[in-house]
Amino acid sequence: MEKEIRGAEAVIKSLVAEGVHTIFGYPGGAIMPIYDALYDYKEEINHILVRHEQGAIHAAQGFARTSETCGVCFATSGPGATNLITGLADAMIDSTPVVCITGQVASHLLGTDAFQETDVIGISMPVTKWNTQVKRAEDIPAVLAKAFFIARSGRPGPVLVDITKDAQFGMMDFNYVPCNDIRSYFPNPVINVSKIDAAIKLINESKKPYLLVGQGITLSNAEQELVEFAEKSGIPVASTLLGLGAFPPDHPLYVGYLGMHGNYAPNIKTNECDVLIAIGMRFDDRVTGDVSRYAKQAKIIHIDIDFAELNKIVTNEVSIHADAKDALLLLNSKVEKRSHDAWIQEFRDAEKLEVEAVIEDAIHPKHDRLQMAEVVNMLSEKTDGKAIIVTDVGQHQMVTSRYYQYKAQNTNITSGGLGTMGFALPAAIGAKLGNPSKTVVAIIGDGGFQMTIQELGTILQFKIDIKILILNNNFLGMVRQWQEMFFEKRYSFTDIVNPNFTQIAKGYDIEARKIDQRTELSEALDVMLTSKAAYLLEAVVEQEENVFPMVATGASVSEIRLN
């Protein structure tokens, strides 16, 4: 036990004890004592000064996803803390472990509307796994230990710890004890083996079984167990958006990507299977379409670590409250060796329809204008599907999910449930720092790029080697597509006048290039990928390119449109 250190230093020493070596943040008045303490720990902790607090939390998310640890960010009180809220909501719905530490006004000022005081605990409560306010220096180590345990255990998620200024200045005896248990909190479910047996009976008796996998596979490091289960059972496998990369895309049992802009076969076959096994996914509306017409013919087996997700959207025949890896280990020990060749051929036949109607023209367009799909497809080929790809939100995100082949684990970083424009640039910064040896490419639309464009300054200051690929159609493309299809082409405020992105990048000492010709594409991608520093490539693409297939809002997955 160390004697008499300030609470602010206790924060830093607690982070060091947790193995934290990277923090993203922005200083301010209420968190200044913590920043002062951080000054003496430059050898232990690398602090990345972002240009906006939203950038801090998105960077922490990207770091968490690629490092498979907790991301950490700092912000001051008032506007600093409220600027974290979007990222907290994003991390909450996408199960990303982040610990946010905010400064707060002195405790005697709480509730007085003091300068830069906001009730960040009340504001953040709906979008955090846990939050708390610390008013005494001596409570800091135990609270932070609890914060890290909650953030990374069970279904991961964001935690916020708000520390008053007097607690930061207060003196205390420092003793850090890691947290491994909290009364009434049980993050590791004990599997009911009878539920496993019930699932095995359905699987072994099925004629047309179907396996849907989500990010839960990646979060539990269950990729190997998933492949073993699929190969032993012979069941076709489809992935959600966040589950891309959890199963090899070139595996003969992989049948594609689910969702509103997913592949044709995996969507329509959902309403033809007899047993549906869902692992580590939550049946969100982008996957189910009209839930009243979703898989009504199937007996559903749902495996999830979050008990609240079971029977929340669809009614299950068998609900298994379990970590994905633990459940798959038991399933693999019991499932029969089978094959379903005729059933899988039905997927391949449907796949041919999509290739002929959509994919071939998308990656080999017959007109002169560049298309998003061909750019992403070529990027996938040049990186062999093994780069870390960070996508923003919009058409380019859906195109990337369709045409980038994620062949390496934990390389798909995107804002899934919340759909946060502006996510990609700061998240790519964090992703690179979380896994420095990998190539990181941020694929961003022209609209989303401008929401966090200031983080180019972070790249400049810290010389972060990420590749930025802007797919520029001079539209807010996804909204424009909907306006075309459902609002009679009434393009209400979706055409966007953009600045000179390459000139802006050069102002931040980032090498940049703009292309609009197919003949330039291959060489331009090569230059971007081989650059030893950050690089921005702007590809001007077809303005009114639409993303198909598509399941319209309110439609059944069986009504997926090819055009």
**Once rounded to an integer, what is the mean pLDDT over residues 172-185?**
95
Domain residue ranges in the chain: 5-172, 193-347, 368-540
pLDDT digits 0-9 by tens, 17-68: 999 999 999 999 999 999 999 999 999 999 999 999 999 999 999 999 999 9
Residues annotated as catalytic (active site), given as ranges? 53, 115-116, 165, 478
What global pTM score does this model have? 0.96
Q: What is the pLDDT of residue 445?
A: 97
Which pairs with CB-CB distance under 8 Å and at least 24 residues apart come from 476-480? 476/394, 476/445, 476/447, 477/394, 477/395, 477/396, 477/445, 477/447, 477/545, 478/393, 478/394, 478/395, 478/398, 478/547, 480/544
**CATH code given to domain 368-540:** 3.40.50.970
Q: Kindly state the helix (H) or strand (E) to which residue 167 belongs, with its residue range.
A: helix 165-169
Which tens digit of pLDDT belongs to each residue from 102-133?
999 999 999 999 999 999 999 999 999 999 99
Tell the CATH superfamily of the 5-172 domain: Thiamin diphosphate (ThDP)-binding fold, Pyr/PP domains (3.40.50.970)
- What does pLDDT average to over the chain? 96
Distances (CA, A) of 452 to 123, 315, 427, 428: 23, 40, 10, 12
CATH tag for 193-347 (out of 3.40.50.1220, 3.30.460.80, 3.30.930.10, 3.40.50.300): 3.40.50.1220
Q: What's the one-letter identity of residue 509?
A: D
| Number of Cα atoms under 13 Å in the Cβ half of residue 362 | 25
pLDDT tens per residue across span 510-554? 999 999 999 999 999 999 999 999 999 999 999 989 999 999 989
The DSSP output letter for 437 is: T
Topology match between the domains 5-172 and 193-347: yes
Burial of residue 414 (number of CB atoms within 10 Å: 0-12, 13-18, 19+): buried
Given this model, what pLDDT does residue 504 score? Answer: 98
Distance CA 159, CA 157 (A): 7
Helix axes 324-334, 223-233, angle to 10 degrees: 30
The string of pLDDT tens digits covering residues 226-240 is 999 999 999 999 999
Task: Tokens for 417, please give them.
Answer: 């449930």
Q: What pLDDT is recorded for position 3?
A: 72
